[in-house]
Chain A
Amino acid sequence: MSGLTIVFSLFFYIAFNIFLVGILLKLWKYAATPAPLKIPQTPAPKTAAGVGFRMFQEVALFKSLFRGNKLVWLGGYIFHLGLLLVFIKHFRFLLPSTPLLLDNFVKYDLYTGFILLGALAFLFILRLAIDRHFFISVINDYLLLGLLMAIASTGLLSRFWPGGGVKANIPEIKAFVGGLFSFHPGPVPLNALFLIHFSLVMILLMYFPFSKMMHAFGVFFSPTRNQIDNSRQKRWGPWTVRTPGRPQPEEPVYAQPSFAVSDED
């Protein structure tokens, strides 16, 4: 195993572990923190199935964002959909043999990557062009968009720029990337575009748990969206759930004796 293979393999394992452990720790934190009061927001479903449907609409269609801002919805929706498709397409580097459906998808779909890049550029421009959005943006918002655009660009170049020489390396890439997941990585392909693309993705993974990207998981913990509006039917008693190391809300005090009421003027 060459020194470079060891370096990039280690890079992958470190990044992937930061990604996984970081997310799991955050999820534990979200799950363990109590929600002492019922704060579901209108239109609040009255059943668990209703909440499931509401969450589906939020995650699959970005319903609230659609009501709030059509331009951001357009950019954001296309970006996330593109990301999902591109993510699926990358499985051809992981699986030992590519399923026919995926193979055909990759063969005939020449656009998704460009649309993804376009959507990112659109979101970047919206931050600059709408004065309110410009006001609220912080540097890291642009950096993250920039990082994603760099990842998309290097990915597109490796596929569509013959001078990049990635095509010739595809079996090697499969052996390296697929091998990482079975702990037997092949030699790292010595292709500049691939190495840049790969490294940028590792940086993205390492940044993920510490950044606003946690919205992908956090949305499921949002009390205004995930609570059932059934306070009339079922008593919400957060003090009954005890999580180690967390403060507990105080229990009710209704059984107290009468209040002293002052008669003085």
Chain B
Amino acid sequence: MADPAVEKSPAEIVSEGQHNKDFKPPELTGEIGAPPVRDGMIVKGVTSAIKPHMAKPEIQSKLGFPETLVDNWEEVAVRKLGELLERYKSLQVYLDICVRCGSCTDKCQFYLGSSDPNNMPVARAELLRRVYKRYFTTEGRIFGKMAGAQKLDLGVLSDWYAYFHQCSQCRRCSVFCPYGIDTAEISMAAREIMDSIGLGQQYVNAILGKVHEIGNNLGMNPKALAATLESTEEDLEEETGQKIRLPLDEEGAEVLMVTPSADFFASPHVESLLGYAKVFHQAGISWTLSTAASEAGNFGMFIGNYSQMRKVASRVGVAIREMKTKRLVVGECGHAWRIAYSFWNTLIGPFDTLDPKYPAPQHICEFTLDLVKRGAIKLDKSANDEFTVTFHDSCNVARGSAMGDRPGGQFTIPRELIKASCSRFVDMDKDTIREKTFCCGGGGGLLTDEIMQIRVQGAMPRVQALNSVMQSDGVNFMALICAICKAQLTKVLPKYGIPVSVAGGVHQLVGRAIELGAKA
């Protein structure tokens, strides 16, 4: 079988993928149905070779993971799985109770876009569940394959490496599961196991290393960050004629702003940063960014590693105390907001130094809408008259967090803010928004170019729904509140023939509409 001259190591067998550059995106038919069945058979494994680059040894060792696939990987992986089962109720319960009812099978954007049945949520979870059954359950030991139990071998590990990196941990499947089985929890556990045997993902783990070392995902050191902010301030003054500041490390400011580092110079992210700055300026609220906490994103969640996530988050805890700020506001970033809303108080709380009126992290949309409602800032809708706007609910915001005091605030607050900034707003198909929203296709650590094919395929349902309202209502702007959505869609939309300018931030609209200097 294997030619001895080109014999591959287990690590190569498991991690080597094919990167198809000529790949054509799915057609925009307006339909988001389950893939058509050819001759009554589903083609298994069509995306099994789409794999991210394996993390280099120096990247792995920085995070304390083995440098490359360890020799006794089966033993280590099974031991790690056992450890995680004792640590996470979600994993233990979810691996036990799936009845394979099929409710989730047509809900995942990666299945809908790729038609590879291993991307059906239950099939993806079964990749781990089979191994769980084989090593940890009586049923699996007695019935073996009949119960779906399977030994962890190189083939299984290879499938894990492919398919657990074709899940964006968006949790859409879980909405439709009768028991709330959360595939994100399962894919996080699988990635944690793979890291523990030395099989890491280059993109995510390299970024984690950069955050620990330098402070943010982009690897901008404090000097570069200060210089960038300074030149952006100059641009802002030129544009508006006003001295609008982008303060950095200013102790005693009222608000600490934690935002994804992409906001500092990526496009269209930076437009939202300008929006935040104008809001703070016009409302007269002092604020500061921080070099220690120059990143809202936290890729520790993507690899399911509690320690990594805690270590990244602790930068924010340090910044609040060092800057002595009274409020904590988080910029436009989906998974960051889930972590800020749901996890920060566990990871770095209690927030006992914050103003008791604002004792928890706030989303920038909550913050801005509150100012609009109180009349502290005024928005001129006509500034955005060239746009008909729709809103993409980011998966982590929609299904893993909230805003405001009332349930569903994460849906209503950004929409209210958009409607206050422009005259024409249209929602996309109701099965593709709110808690049923589709992921952009780039979340969960998938935002790396070698797996572009699955990113484009995963974006299919979102792009179909967007294209429909573009055709029917003339929508030409999709407002986003996530740095990953922005990066993914600006790259993927052109492949579907949709102009890149359609994707932009909510605070991009706010920044255009805000009336500067017109204080009542």
Contact = CB atoms under 8 A, between A and B. Distances in A.
Interface stretch (B215-223, B379-387, B476-484): B215-223
Given A132-B106, A254-B348, A43 B408 contact: yes
Q: How large is the interface on B (under 10, 10 to 19, 20 to 34, 35 or more residues)?
A: 35 or more
B97 to A, nearest CB: 4
Contacts of A258: 292, 318, 322
Contacts of B346: 36-38, 231, 235-238, 252
Contacts of B93: 30, 33, 218, 221-223
A97 interface: no
Identify which of B44, B341, B350, B399 gathers the most chain A CB atoms within 10 Å of its CB.
Answer: B399
Contact of B182 (A45, A136, A224): A224
Contact of A135 (B117, B143, B214, B359): B117
Contact of A41 (B178, B306, B307, B400): B400
Contacts of A107: none
B6 interface: no
Contacts of B117: 132, 135-136
Given A140-B148, A253-B314, A261-B221, A33 B86 contact: yes
Contacts of B359: 232
A39 B101 contact: no
Interface in B121-176: 122-123, 126, 137-139, 142-143, 145-148, 171, 174-176
A64 B176 contact: yes
Contact of A38 (B120, B223, B343): B343
A163 interface: no
B314 A254 contact: yes
Contacts of B92: 29-30, 33
A58 interface: yes
A44 B407 contact: yes
Interface stretch (B33-41, B253-261, B419-427, B453-461): B33-41
Interface in A94-110: none
A42 B399 contact: yes
Interface in A208-251: 210-212, 214-215, 218-219, 221-225, 229, 231-232, 235-238, 246-247, 249-250
Interface string B216-238: 00000111100000000000000
A214 B95 CA distance: 11
Nearest to A133: B102
B105 A37 contact: no
A140 B104 CA distance: 20
B430 interface: no
B371 interface: no
Nearest to A229: B402
Given A235-B345, A264-B221, A33 B89 contact: yes
A252 B97 contact: no
Which secondary structure dominates chain A's binding surface?
Answer: loop
A222 B90 CA distance: 6
Interface in A21-47: 26, 29-30, 33-46
A254 B178 CA distance: 38
A135 B178 contact: no
A46 B146 contact: no
B452 interface: no
A80 to B, nearest CB: 11
A218 B99 CA distance: 11
Interface stretch (A66-74, A111-119, A176-184, A190-198): A66-74
B123 A136 contact: yes
B175 A64 contact: yes
Contacts of B103: 64-65, 68-69, 72
Given A131-B40, A231-B345, A262-B221, A34 B102 contact: no
Given A138-B148, A237-B346, A265-B221, A33 B292 contact: no
Nearest to A260: B213
Nearest to A243: B86
Contact of B342 (A231, A238, A253): A231
Contacts of B307: 250
Nearest to A42: B435
A225 B342 contact: no
A261 B318 contact: no
A256 B318 contact: yes
B89 A34 contact: yes
Contacts of B102: 69, 72, 126-127, 130, 132-133, 136
A138 B122 contact: no
A17 interface: no
A65 B147 CA distance: 23
A237 B347 CA distance: 9
Contacts of B147: 138-140
Nearest to B301: A37
A137 to B, nearest CB: 6
A262 B107 CA distance: 44
Given A41-B174, A133-B105, A253-B314, A218 B120 contact: no
Contacts of B474: none
A256 B100 CA distance: 46
B96 A262 contact: no
Identify which of B88, B126, B142 gathers the most chain A CB atoms within 10 Å of its CB.
Answer: B88
Contact of B97 (A37, A133, A212, A232): A212
A262 B179 contact: no
A36 B291 CA distance: 29
B418 interface: no
A259 interface: yes
Nearest to B352: A235
Interface in A141-184: 141, 143
Nearest to B411: A42
Contacts of A72: 101-103
A186 B237 CA distance: 95
Contacts of A68: 103-104, 107, 175-178
Given A68-B104, A127-B102, A224-B90, 17 more contacts: A33-B87, A42-B402, A64-B177, A64-B180, A67-B175, A135-B44, A139-B145, A212-B99, A215-B179, A218-B179, A229-B407, A235-B350, A236-B345, A254-B349, A258-B292, A258-B322, A265-B224
25 contacts: A26-B96, A35-B90, A37-B343, A39-B185, A41-B180, A41-B182, A41-B435, A72-B101, A133-B105, A136-B122, A140-B143, A140-B148, A141-B100, A210-B138, A212-B100, A215-B97, A215-B98, A218-B93, A219-B180, A224-B174, A231-B345, A237-B346, A238-B346, A246-B87, A261-B291
